Amino acid sequence: MELWLPRSFDNSFNDNAASNEEPVTYSGKETPSVLLIDDSSVLRQLTAESLRRRGFPVTCASGGAEALAAIERAPHDFDVIVTDFAMPLITGIDVIRFARNLRGDWPAVIVTGYAEADTISDRPSDVPLLSKPFREKDLIEGIFRAIAQAASKITKAG
């Protein structure tokens, strides 16, 4: 296992020099709420803290079963799902499919520690995939991309 920490805790979010892509922004009225699912307590806590520092409301689940219960209890409490792929019993893809049975346009991001992330081909095509370790900037952009894709599906359908 590797643990990558930021060199500083500078809260500026301007890392565009490292990327040729335009930064992704969110046009919603509030910062989207995140359901974060990871069976590793250390990674879950680090990721949650990182997102909270950026203003995201975060609810954590320690695995697929806990996430399914939270989704079933309050499906409208979460704007986006960020889930680990490989977890005991219930995978991240299983969680996303369950959630999308309740809300078909539910934005989601999968994070994985698998070296060959492209082999996770049975995920929905509109779900971004981030390889661990990932940069905070990449996670936030993945969240906004997933939300934008869901919004564009709604616009096209409407």
pLDDT digits (tens, 9 = 90+) for 94-109: 999 999 999 998 999 9
- Mind listing the pLDDT tens digit for each residue in 20-53? 444 445 555 578 999 999 999 999 999 999 999 9
pLDDT tens for residues 125-141? 888 899 888 999 999 99
Peptide bond into 32 cis (omega under 30): no
pTM: 0.79
Domain boundaries, the chain: 29-157
Q: Evaluate the CA torsion angle 138, 4, 10, 41 in order and state its sign.
A: positive
83 touches 110 (CB < 8 A):
yes
pLDDT at 9 over 70: no
Alpha helices (H) along the chain = 41-53, 64-73, 92-102, 136-157
CA dihedral 78, 84, 89, 94 (to 10 degrees): 50
Q: Which residue has the higher pLDDT, 22 or 83?
A: 83
Asked if pLDDT for residue 10 goes beyond 70, the answer is no
Length of the chain: 158
Per-residue confidence (pLDDT) for residue 18, from 0 to 100: 41
- Domain covering 29-157 in this structure, CATH number: 3.40.50.2300
